């Protein structure tokens, strides 16, 4: 299984945002609500990561409720790849 770096995941997240006319913030502590990154966006990002690593990521909704910042998303997806 290959894994994506934090920078690669961040670039994919930026692609998801830009496709909707939004911008990726420079600060990873930016609040997801404030930048307009919704659960549907997270799902799209997770699917892109899965396609890239050719592996399914296993997570459930309660885990997602704790994600509030860009950094949280990056941390979460890094941890899922390592699991």
Q: How far apart are CA 22 and CA 61, in angstroms?
A: 25
Q: Under a CB-based contact definition with an 8 Å cutoff, are residues 4 and 54 in contact?
A: no
> What phi, psi does 78 have (nearest 5°)?
-65, -45
For the domain made up of 6-82, the CATH class stated in words is mainly alpha
Q: How far apart are CA 6 and CA 24, in angstroms?
A: 14
pLDDT, one tens digit per residue, over 36-66 is 999 899 999 999 999 999 999 888 778 788 8
| Per-residue model confidence (pLDDT) at position 65 | 85
| Per-residue model confidence (pLDDT) at position 61 | 75
Residue 1 has pLDDT above 60, yes or no: no
Q: What distances in angstroms separate CA 79 from CA 4, 13, 18, 57, 82, one per listed residue?
A: 11, 16, 25, 10, 5
Q: How far apart are CA 7 and CA 74, in angstroms?
A: 9
pLDDT, one tens digit per residue, over 4-37 is 999 999 999 999 999 999 999 999 999 999 999 9
Domain boundaries, the chain: 6-82
The whole-model pTM stands at 0.90
The total of other beta-carbon atoms located within 10 Å of residue 40's CB is 10
């Amino acid at each position: 299984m290959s894994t994506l770096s934090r920078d690669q995941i961040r670039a994919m997240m930026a692609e998801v945002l830009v496709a909707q006319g939004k911008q990726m913030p420079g600060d990873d502590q930016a609040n997801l609500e404030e930048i307009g990154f919704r659960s549907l966006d997270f799902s799209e990002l997770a699917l892109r990561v899965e396609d890239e690593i050719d592996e399914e990521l296993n997570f459930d909704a309660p885990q997602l409720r704790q994600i509030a910042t860009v950094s949280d998303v990056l941390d979460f997806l890094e941890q899922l790849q390592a699991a």
